[in-house]
Amino acid sequence: MELEENGNVFYTKFSEAVDDNEGRSLLLFLAGQEREHLEFLRKVREEEKELPSAFTIPKAEVPVLRLENIFGDFSGEVDAASATEYAIGVEQLSMNFYQLCADRVGVGKLQKFFEDLVEVERKHKELLEENLGSLKNEGTWSGYLPILEG
């Protein structure tokens, strides 16, 4: 859940540092997605009966998002392209982690949830890659069209 919590903070802080409406709306959308995932994961944790007893992820296998690596103290200007590259890496880590979770769970509703999260994170990564290309080639954000999720 720390990955989702920090993802929300990352995208929210990044949106505050971006002076572009397209970029800001994209980042706020991604922050909202992280909050939705976090709420579902909290609900699952409260309903422990949904977790198979064999479902354990060693702490060493859980990706950690270090916000200070990209923003420091969140003061000053943020290089949008570099922060977007970092976000793409975070989405890839998330995809890998959720696939590991799906594999460990095995079958059922929880496995489907993790597999769906892999797909959502893949779409986020593609969206960020598209915007990174636009930032590097044109110096502007391309924004996004809302992603309709299952």
**What's the rounded Cα separation, in Å, for the pair 8 and 135?**
22
Q: 3-class DSSP state for residue 87?
A: helix
pLDDT in tens, the chain (150 residues): 777 888 888 889 888 888 888 898 999 999 999 999 889 888 877 775 555 544 555 566 655 555 555 444 445 566 788 888 888 988 898 898 889 888 888 778 888 888 999 999 999 999 999 999 999 999 999 887 665 444
Nearest Cα to Cα of residue 131 among 71, 84, 79, 83: 84
Structure confidence at residue 86 (pLDDT): 83
Which pTM does this prediction carry?
0.78
- What is the C-alpha to C-alpha distance for residues 142 and 135, in angstroms, rounded to an integer? 8
**Which domains, and CATH codes, for the chain?**
2-54+75-138 (1.20.1260.10)
pLDDT value of position 75:
52
* Rounded CA separation 63/89 (Å): 11
What's the pLDDT score for residue 137? 93
